[in-house]
Structure 1
């Protein structure tokens, strides 16, 4: 009788331990990516401060801090992949990236290839000339001039769409630094860049450039995933972004790089 009771006790104990182990495993899966250990590859462009830049071996910036905070909030892992901005969407289409966060404006053209998160930053384009240049104050002053733009950006698209209307020529470069140099050394007369990016660059570096006139447009940045392929991941990104805004972490990240807004 005692042996039967002992056996029953041990059997019940084993069942209890197994149940506890199963519960712990489910909880771990809920905080990770469905328990498959997948690491999402995130495309960034490190020539785009204050949103993305590199100091030594470390990636920094609004976009970098934001996607890391979203991943932590939603319980998934990421791996940052730095590349030229113009190559980010093609890399997503080739299956080399899962997410893109690179100061990417939400446009109808890009929506044909990617799905965007809720907007996370209101930007807008600005016209920029060499410091001390008083001849160019608006698009109307660009007739016969040369405008530098960065390939694949909304600035490049805007410049192309308005080229005939205002009568200027376009020179395209691969990164922001080269674009700034085109105007700084007099090779180009003006450039078109996102307002927060050029304002930060002028404030932080001795670029000898100045923003002129009003914003050329208004647009919003979004986080992208490949169109029609990652609805669940996009939901996590949106949920994480909403959580960061509610907790105040979003404002904390922006204030780190842009000061009090």
Structure 2
């Protein structure tokens, strides 16, 4: 009788996935044109900072991982539809996005930066954008900023399916500047001599983090735990230096373990104190 009662009690317990101890392959995606975070390999597939980062996260969770490449504008709808468990693409955390998705803490800080064609007059303030065309990646935080500020600042926003297309619009003269994250603008300039990194919008500093569906708290917390361990052991900073060419400062996101789960002071943040569990 005791065995029957014990078996019945165990059967009534909720079944929880063994995160960190194996499980089905993780399904995720990147914008495969967003170098150096994710871009095509000659032999097929994608490479980049975010590809390396989340392959290592999956390895530490004891999970296989499948990383698809798709246009950024389609990534969030695909995740919300259940196609992906989370997004490995760098996603800028905003209040509006955090109201609809769960985020890990930031693994990088990002600032908006403009890139201009070599020989063009530099942009020294936002007032210099008046009368100009600004190219952005469709569906990105840069697209949202451009759409929100175009009328006020007097510029025209041009949205392109990929960031390389936005860069090419500048090189060809169809746009005066491309607006993207600072790491992306600097990398594009290193590969395209006619592009020059220019004005940085200092007030736009934000977290780049991994988004999850709102009901996927357990996986969000498990991934954040790994990110915190990688910050503590220096492996996240090492990946950053490998792909971006500079050692992160001590107070950069790559070296900062933030309290709680998620991005402090934004929707979805859980202030519960915890100590990272690192193997």
TM-score tier, shorter chain, comes to 0.7 to 0.9
Find 2:35's aligned residue among 49, 53, 56: 49
Q: Is the 8 A contact 1:202 1:210 kept in 2?
A: yes
In structure 1, the gaps of 5 or more residues are 1-28
Larger Rg belongs to = 1
Once residues 68 and 246 of structure 2 are traced to their aligned partners in structure 1, the CA distance between those partners, rounded to angstroms, is 29
State the 1:207 CA deviation. Answer: 4.4
Match of 2:54 in 1: 67
1:230 aligns with 2:207: no
Match of 1:143 in 2: 130
Higher helix share: 1
5 Å-filtered alignment, 1:37-186, equals 37-56=23-42, 57-134=44-121, 136-186=123-173
State the 1:169 CA deviation. Answer: 1.1
Find 2:21's aligned residue among 32, 40, 48: 32
Q: Is the 8 A contact 2:122 2:199 kept in 1?
A: no
Match of 1:254 in 2: 240
Q: Is the 8 A contact 1:138 1:212 kept in 2?
A: no
Find 1:192's aligned residue among 176, 179, 183: 179
Q: Is the 8 A contact 1:127 1:138 kept in 2?
A: no
Q: Is the 8 A contact 2:33 2:39 kept in 1?
A: yes
Once residues 30 and 126 of structure 1 are traced to their aligned partners in structure 2, the CA distance between those partners, rounded to angstroms, is 38
Q: Is the 8 A contact 2:123 2:199 kept in 1?
A: no
SS state at 2:127 partner: helix
Q: Is the 8 A contact 2:19 2:222 kept in 1?
A: no
TM-score (norm 2): 0.78
Distance change (3 Å), C-alpha of 1:31 and 1:106: closer
In structure 2, the gaps of 5 or more residues are 1-17, 248-279
Q: Is the 8 A contact 1:66 1:250 kept in 2?
A: yes
TM-score (norm 1): 0.83
Once residues 54 and 166 of structure 1 are traced to their aligned partners in structure 2, the CA distance between those partners, rounded to angstroms, is 36
User: How many residues were matched structurally?
Assistant: 228
SS state at 1:47 partner: coil
Match of 1:211 in 2: 197
Summarize deviations over 1:180-200 as a string: whole Å, max 9, x none: 011100011122111111101
